């Protein structure tokens, strides 16, 4: 089967915001405790942070990490996580039916972000709390000194403010499961007033208001319209979430789900434009897709803990999806969708980063390793920076119950004008047929293939686990070439490919 396309240096979607490759860490399961933080671990640094995990996060070059939740944030007291550790209270976490020692709080997280070269994106609690705690938190984090909260931060050992720019106004406030759930009008008013107060402190903060938790929510997309009616003038981004799964074991359907993601983005872009027009506004709002990933493998196993049958354990193994090769393809497809929509999706966070539905897994006291999905995320984060190209693309298609015209091959391309490279990310969704890809490269001179990485496996269910950590891993590809001005590559059935072109 053949697929053809044209990439022209002047056909551009947008300059990709580096923060498209962000991630998320929540006080949930073993994300924090025995994930990033484990003072007794052989690799722990002076802050108790696992250096083996830090190294993997650095390898991913994660630009931003959202913290501390997630559902957790909606009953979280940020003040519990400051001051001497021995004085910090143990709290029951109502979102995940666990307990939290609060050994990790804003200071520890900030240190960890510095160690991993990433920026913080902080969420305020608009569930059980509100404007007052939010403004105090911002003052604690960002004010230099000479006020109650900033001086407390200094007394707690941090002289300089952290100057965090990105702030989430709550989490999934449309969800009835959320502690302090609100309807769209209640939330819109609270978010607007909180944003106003935060902007009164610093008008340059980047504020993110909650959109829908997913596009199956009964309130979607009216939720976005109502919330933006109240907040359009005082926020910068609207947050969306979406998780993907294949519980029926139907690969063709599963691998078409990025169409659902695409529909979601396009619809919310429409809502943003509608409210902008209605308000006669000149301002633009963008999408912050601050939770996305595959999440379904661990659902059954988690049920008992979440139903409270096991008390209030500290850092139990929750949401520990073990990803397979099929999920590599899915994560590649999701990332391609974000690249193609990078004119409207400016920030995105894989949810999450360590242990909890995560590309990095750890064993308490043991190893840290790369799950299968680590690799498509790694390639996109490393090489997907620059300008997203607007490709023309012709390829045979298939239909599913929900989506028509799903191309067997899915391709995105990014031009990095700084180093002159063009990187093509391609997924073949076909179970048995190779796709012969030919992309005409126009407006680029003298490109040749400088790197080609391929992920394939004869078993869609193959996984990377503690005692077999490299079962699914990229290998150097062969056969991709630039002939004249055309890139050709044979995309093997069910494969993920990253092809870099340079001089």
Scanning the structure block, which residue is given the tokens 């609100």? 182
Scanning the structure block, which residue is given the tokens 């580096």? 18
Active site residue 86: no
Minimum CB distance to ligand AHR smaller for 25 or for 395:
25
Minimum CB distance to ligand AHR smaller for 213 or for 453:
213
The residues near 55 (Cβ < 8 Å, ≥ 6 apart) are none
- What are the angstrom distances between the C-alpha of 78 and each of 90, 194, 351, 377? 13, 16, 21, 30
Rounded to whole angstroms, the Cα distance separating 456 from 267 reads 34
- Please identify which of the residues 26, 133, 291, 320 carries the catalytic annotation: 291
Minimum CB distance to ligand AHR smaller for 127 or for 386:
127
Q: Tell me the β-bridge partners of 422.
A: 415, 501
Verify binding: residue 172, ligand AHR, rule CB under 6 A.
Answer: yes
Positions 217 through 256 that interact with ligand AHR (CB under 6 A): none
The residues near 388 (Cβ < 8 Å, ≥ 6 apart) are 12, 13, 14, 15, 16, 339, 340, 342, 343, 412, 413, 414
Scanning the structure block, which residue is given the tokens 């009164």? 200
HSE-up of residue 325 (Cα within 13 Å, Cβ side)? 21
Draw the binding track, 123-162, toward ligand AHR (x: CB under 6 A; -: no contact): ----------------------------------------
Structure tokens at 157: 């050992």
- What are the angstrom distances between the C-alpha of 340 and each of 16, 119, 363, 374, 467? 9, 24, 36, 21, 37
Using CB atoms within 10 Å of the CB of residue 220, give its burial: 0 to 12 exposed, 13 to 18 middle, 19+ buried. buried
CB atoms within 10 A of CB 36: 29
Residue 218: CB minimum distance to ligand AHR, A: 16
Residue 276: CB minimum distance to ligand AHR, A: 27
3-state secondary structure of 323: coil
- Please identify which of the residues 26, 139, 172, 224 carries the catalytic annotation: 172
Task: State yes or no: cis peptide before 96, omega within 30 of 0.
Answer: no
Positions 47 through 76 that interact with ligand AHR (CB under 6 A): 69-71
Residue 38: CB minimum distance to ligand AHR, A: 21
Going by the DSSP 8-state scheme, the letter that residue 428 receives in this structure is: E
Active site residue 291: yes
3-state secondary structure of 488: strand
Minimum CB distance to ligand AHR smaller for 48 or for 69:
69
Q: Which of 142, 215, 352, 372 forms a contact with ligand AHR (CB under 6 A)?
A: 352
Rounded to whole angstroms, the Cα distance separating 139 from 163 reads 10
Positions 70 through 109 that interact with ligand AHR (CB under 6 A): 70-71
Residue 359: CB minimum distance to ligand AHR, A: 13
Going by the DSSP 8-state scheme, the letter that residue 278 receives in this structure is: H
Positions 23 through 52 that interact with ligand AHR (CB under 6 A): 26
Residue 257: CB minimum distance to ligand AHR, A: 17
Residue 94: CB minimum distance to ligand AHR, A: 12
Residue nearest to ligand AHR (CB): 70
Going by the DSSP 8-state scheme, the letter that residue 29 receives in this structure is: T
Minimum CB distance to ligand AHR smaller for 274 or for 312:
312
Minimum CB distance to ligand AHR smaller for 74 or for 362:
74
Draw the binding track, 277-316, toward ligand AHR (x: CB under 6 A; -: no contact): --------------x-------------------------
Q: Which of 34, 171, 381, 456 forms a contact with ligand AHR (CB under 6 A)?
A: 171
Minimum CB distance to ligand AHR smaller for 349 or for 414:
349
Minimum CB distance to ligand AHR smaller for 71 or for 116:
71
The residues near 155 (Cβ < 8 Å, ≥ 6 apart) are none
Residue 495: CB minimum distance to ligand AHR, A: 28
Strand pairing class (495-502; 486-491) = unpaired
Structure tokens at 41: 């671990």
Give the binding-site size for ligand AHR (rule: CB under 6 A).
10
Residue 249: CB minimum distance to ligand AHR, A: 23
Catalytic positions, written as ranges:
172, 291
**Residues contributing to the site for ligand AHR (CB under 6 A):** 26, 69-71, 171-172, 213, 291, 351-352
């Amino acid at each position: 089967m053949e697929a053809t396309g044209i990439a022209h240096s002047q056909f551009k979607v947008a300059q990709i915001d580096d923060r498209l490759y962000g991630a998320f860490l929540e006080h949930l399961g073993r994300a924090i405790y025995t994930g990033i933080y484990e003072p007794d671990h052989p690799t722990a640094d002076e802050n108790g942070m696992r250096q083996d995990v830090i190294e993997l996060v650095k390898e991913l070059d994660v630009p931003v990490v959202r913290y501390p939740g997630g559902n957790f944030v909606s009953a979280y007291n940020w003040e519990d996580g400051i001051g001497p550790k021995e004085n910090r209270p143990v709290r029951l976490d109502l979102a995940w039916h666990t307990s939290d020692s609060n050994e990790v709080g804003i200071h520890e997280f900030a240190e960890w972000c510095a160690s991993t070269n990433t920026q913080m994106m902080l969420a305020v609690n608009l569930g059980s709390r509100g404007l007052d705690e939010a403004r105090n938190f911002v003052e604690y984090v960002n004010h230099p000194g000479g006020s109650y909260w900033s001086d407390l931060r200094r007394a707690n050992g941090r002289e300089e403010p952290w100057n965090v720019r990105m702030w989430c106004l709550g989490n999934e406030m449309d969800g009835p499961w959320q502690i302090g759930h609100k309807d769209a009008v209640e939330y819109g008013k609270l978010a607007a007033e909180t944003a106003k107060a935060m902007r009164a402190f610093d008008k340059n903060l980047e504020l993110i208001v909650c959109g829908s938790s997913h596009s199956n929510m009964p309130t979607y997309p009216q939720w976005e319209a109502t919330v933006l009616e109240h907040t359009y003038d005082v926020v910068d981004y609207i947050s969306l979430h979406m998780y993907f799964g294949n519980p029926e074991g139907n690969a063709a359907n599963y691998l078409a789900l990025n169409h659902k993601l695409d529909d979601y983005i396009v619809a919310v872009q429409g809502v943003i434009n509608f409210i902008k027009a209605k308000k006669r506004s000149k301002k633009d709002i963008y999408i912050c897709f601050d939770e996305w990933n595959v999440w379904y493998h661990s659902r059954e196993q988690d049920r008992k803990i979440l139903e409270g049958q096991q008390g209030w354990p500290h850092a139990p193994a929750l949401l520990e999806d073990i990803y397979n090769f099929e999920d590599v393809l899915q994560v590649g497809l999701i990332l391609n969708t974000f690249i193609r929509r990078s004119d409207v999706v400016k920030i995105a966070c894989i949810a999450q980063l360590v242990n909890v539905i995560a590309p990095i897994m750890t064993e308490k006291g043991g190893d840290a390793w790369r799950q299968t999905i680590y690799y498509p995320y790694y390639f996109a984060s490393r090489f997907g920076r620059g300008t997203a190209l607007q490709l023309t693309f012709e390829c045979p298609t298939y239909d599913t119950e929900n989506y028509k015209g799903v191309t067997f091959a899915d391709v995105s391309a990014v031009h990095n004008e700084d180093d002159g490279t063009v990187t093509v990310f391609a997924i073949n969704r076909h179970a048995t047929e190779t796709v012969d890809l030919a992309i005409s490269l126009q407006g680029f001179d003298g490109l040749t293939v400088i790197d080609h990485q391929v992920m394939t496996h004869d078993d869609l269910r193959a996984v990377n686990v503690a005692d077999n950590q490299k079962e699914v891993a990229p290998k150097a590809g062969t056969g991709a070439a630039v002939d004249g001005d055309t890139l050709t590559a044979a995309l093997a059935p069910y494969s993920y490919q990253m092809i870099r072109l340079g001089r």
